[in-house]
Amino acid sequence: MQIMLSGDRPTGPLHIGHYVGSLKNRVALQNNHHSFLLIADAQALTDNMADPDKVCRNIREVALDYLAVGIDPTKSAMCVQSCLPALADIAMLYLNLVSVARLERNPTVKDEIRLRGLARDIPAGFLCYPVAQAADITAFKATVIPVGQDQIPMIEQTNEIVRRVNRQAGVSCLPEATGLLSATSRLPGVDGQRKMGKSQNNAIPLSASPATIHEAVQRLYTDAGHIRISDPGQVEGNAVFAYLDAFDEDKDALEELKVHYRRGGLADKDLKQRLETLLQKLIEPIRERRLALARDPSFVWDVLQEGTKKAHTITQTTAEDIRSALGLFRFATARRP
């Protein structure tokens, strides 16, 4: 069985974009992978240092989301990043293997810097986060990483470091990782924004009430040129169709709807009704399980404790493996002469 690592930054409730883009996959993959879910609170701090409360609070919320969608803690170890000292240890070591110029060329970092208008005022931790992610991935010796298209450069950065370590070690100490792209790429926000975001008030959370789901679907952007029902409508760039593509499993019926919509005569409200029914049906059991789980905080705590303990052992061992492969003295484990 291969080792799979995935995870989320605990900065807000997970939403249906996470579900279709990644969580659904993880639930399926946990059956034939050694699976680890890293709740990346330390990484979340790279740009939430002014609001650590938010990060702390959401550790439990993300764990609840995982359990509610069907992550099975006996198959997937859920662990808290800040409780795994080996990750910082390995990250500090890797910082010596990557140049500042290389980090600045990382497309994901470049994009984020541009999006946030940060320029050189970015926190150093933010510039260095591809290295921290490489530390996370390699600490688990993970080979399968479910990712979005925009995360592929992170996998490349990781594998560069892996090759650098293995070259210096003269043995294959660390495995290279492969990004596993999900069938559905990113879901647009209900406001028509390119991406549904945890903290952008344009998401449908997995804990959404029926009324919230209804309102969100009503808010959903369709085709601004589709004024009268009889007008021909546009499918591309139409968020309702993007969502139907992601959630409607009756692909033939969906194809017919697209043809009909393009021709004219299909009302937005009928499409939205169809989508709402699908989403209500998807979210209801998740919401109910989540409510039930939230009533038993010790269970969630135990799940996190146990997963973190398991992850601790593995990541500490890897840190020692790396040090020893690189020929670094480890005084703590050296024999008395």
The site that binds a second copy (CB under 8 A) totals a number of residues, namely 61
* CA separation for the pair 11, 62 (Å, rounded): 9
Which of 49, 229, 253, 259 is close enough to bind a second copy by CB under 8 A? 49
* Nearest CB to a second copy, comparing residues 125 and 192: 125
Binding flag, residue 168, a second copy (CB under 8 A): yes
From 123-131, 174-182, 186-194, 240-248, span contacting a second copy (CB under 8 A): 123-131
Which of 110, 114, 124, 292 is close enough to bind a second copy by CB under 8 A? 124
Within positions 78 to 117, which residues make up the interface with a second copy, using CB under 8 A?
Answer: 80, 82-83, 85-86, 88-89, 91-93, 95-101, 103-104
From 16-24, 27-35, 119-127, 155-163, span contacting a second copy (CB under 8 A): 119-127
DSSP line for 29-50: HTTSEEEEEEE-HHHHHTTTTT
* Nearest CB to a second copy, comparing residues 160 and 191: 160
* CA separation for the pair 301, 306 (Å, rounded): 9
Paired tokens of 182: 């999900």
CB within 8 Å of 253: residues ≥ 6 apart: none
Binding flag, residue 46, a second copy (CB under 8 A): yes
Which of 305, 306, 310, 320 is close enough to bind a second copy by CB under 8 A? 305
Binding flag, residue 332, a second copy (CB under 8 A): yes
Nearest to 76 by CA among 13, 17, 3, 169: 3
From 13-21, 139-147, 220-228, 300-308, span contacting a second copy (CB under 8 A): 300-308
From 45-53, 153-161, 206-214, 228-236, span contacting a second copy (CB under 8 A): 45-53
* CA separation for the pair 277, 290 (Å, rounded): 20
Which of 41, 61, 136, 276 is close enough to bind a second copy by CB under 8 A? 41
Binding flag, residue 327, a second copy (CB under 8 A): yes
* CA separation for the pair 250, 45 (Å, rounded): 42
* Nearest CB to a second copy, comparing residues 90 and 187: 90
* Nearest CB to a second copy, comparing residues 188 and 307: 307
Query: How many CB atoms lie under 10 A from the CB of residue 49?
Result: 11
Binding flag, residue 167, a second copy (CB under 8 A): no
Q: How far is the CB of 12 from a second copy (least distance, A)?
A: 16
Q: What would you report as the CA-atom Rg of the chain, rounded to the nearest whole angstrom?
A: 22
Q: Bin 233: left if φ > 0, else alpha if -120 < ψ < 50, else beta.
A: beta
Roughly what angle, to the nearest 10 degrees, separates helices 85-94 and 297-325? 40
CB 151 within 8 A of CB 130: no
Which of 147, 206, 240, 304 is close enough to bind a second copy by CB under 8 A? 304
Burial class (CB in 10 A: 0-12, 13-18, 19+), 75: middle
Binding flag, residue 330, a second copy (CB under 8 A): yes
First-to-last C-alpha distance (Å) of the chain: 41
3-state class (DSSP) for residue 69:
helix
Q: How far is the CB of 70 from a second copy (least distance, A)?
A: 23
**Phi, psi for residue 246 in degrees, rounded to 5:** -80, -35
CB 279 within 8 A of CB 47: no
Binding residues (CB under 8 A) for a second copy: these are 41-42, 45-47, 49-50, 52-53, 55-56, 59, 80, 82-83, 85-86, 88-89, 91-93, 95-101, 103-104, 120-128, 131-132, 168, 297-298, 301-302, 304-305, 308, 323, 326-332, 334, 336-337
